[in-house]
Amino acid sequence: MTEILRVGIAGLGTVGASAARIVGRNQNAIDARAGRPVRIVAVSSRDRTRDRGIPLDGFVWHDDPLALASSDEVDCVVELIGGDEGPARATVERALESGKHVVTANKALLAKHGAALAAKAESAGLHLAFEAAAAGGIPIVKTFREALAGNVVTRLYGILNGTCNYILSRMEAEGLSFAECLADAQRLGYAEADPTFDVEGFDTAHKLALLTSLAFGAQIDSEAIYVEGISAIESIDLRMAEELGYRIKLLGVAERTKTGIEQRVHPTMVPKTSSIAQVMGVTNAVTIDADAVGELTLIGPGAGGDATASAVIADIVDVAAGSPRPPFGWPGARLERAERAPMQRHEGGYYVRLSVFDRPGAAAGIASRMAENDISLESILQRRTEAAAADPTGRSGAPVPVVLITYATSEAAIRAAVDTIERDGLIAEDPRVIRIERD
């Protein structure tokens, strides 16, 4: 097969421009790996005047991405517009309906419409490739879809958002507040002006939905994901984690349990000795537990123009080589509607930080409430505040930070215990609960 694969890029932002630049720079190597010439022939973007650092005069320009998706001069459409509806969805659907292969980095679109789009691609014998949609430059989609085809996966967990990992890394290393680190991340371009999508966990949840489907052969179920962000994490939590031998990371976790597939995104304490605890800054990482390979951890850049474009180009090369695979690694008809594992049934260790009024009976009351819910405590740490330390009677009444580390228990038990402790009036502010993910 020697005919040219003609590629059109819809969305010429940072990733699109990087993809065009890399294809031009590494043309010979890409052609050799693809087995035929790969050429970007058309682009679509809203602004023709913007300087993208690449020559654009050799491309056919379409103001409307739907026109590019319908063009007879294009064989493969790369969708880099973004968003789960609007032009992005319409472009992908039009491309598939027009008999064109699709490469996309759009995790939001796939988390919401992936099953329907995959069915369109499969029925037409077309590629729907999305390596760049989860963990950027890490080849995690290919790992699940191809390299681990002979394995049964029991759990996956990972750092899937570089913005959150950067903020937590800076907070730990420099003792800064969340607000200070977020402002710095925005200044450096790691966080958007409105950072909610990243710091509240939604970006991680979209990526986790895709990886869960690939790992377990399950239909995408983004509504089943429990989501909690990092905005409530304070410097004291990172200091206590350090003292206890842990680091705090925002993890996406998917696990097959007795009650179904559990999917959750939340701040997590991980042992400092674990591979994933060593991942700092904007880097991403995914750890997979499988029966044949055991534990496998992939680490690499999770964002950035060149890293994401690298994943896009890898998918384009697969398109050029032919033989489309089912987008989620399993034929669409074989993807199962997995039973949801309710978050309340999650079992594991917990870090609980309480701001306890320093007065007689408070500690006994907390211990009693934990015991009533069958929660066993592994350790208790108390830090005296200046006001409490200045009182020679030891009964200042001032709030004192108390940290409890539990043995394995259920989410329902922890929530019941801390709710009762709050109602008892034993604490001065909302408790901080962080789950522990042990090896």
User: In three state form, how does the secondary structure of 105-163 look?
Assistant: CCHHHHHHHHHHHHHHHHHHCCCEECHHHCCCCCCHHHHHHHHCCCCCEEEEEEECCHH
Q: How far apart are CA 190 and CA 281, in angstroms?
A: 10
Half-sphere exposure of 78 (CA within 13 A, CB side): 39
| 272 catalytic residue (yes or no) | no
DSSP class of residue 424 equals: T
Task: Round to whole Å and give the CA distance between 78 and 8.
Answer: 6
Question: For residues 234 and 237, what is the distance between their CA atoms, to the nearest angstrom?
Answer: 5
The token pair that represents 265 in the structure block: 């995104």
Contact in structure between 52 and 17 (CB atoms under 8 Å)? yes
Instruction: Give the angle subtended at the CA of 222 by the CAs of 221 and 224, to the nearest 5°.
Output: 75
From 207, 249, 258, 272, active-site residue: 207
Strand order in the sheet with 128-129: 60-62, 38-44, 5-10, 76-79, 101-104, 128-129
Task: Confirm if 227 and 182 have CB atoms less than 8 A apart.
Answer: no
Nearest residue to 352 (alpha-carbon basis) of 379, 371, 373: 379
- Report the catalytic residues: 207
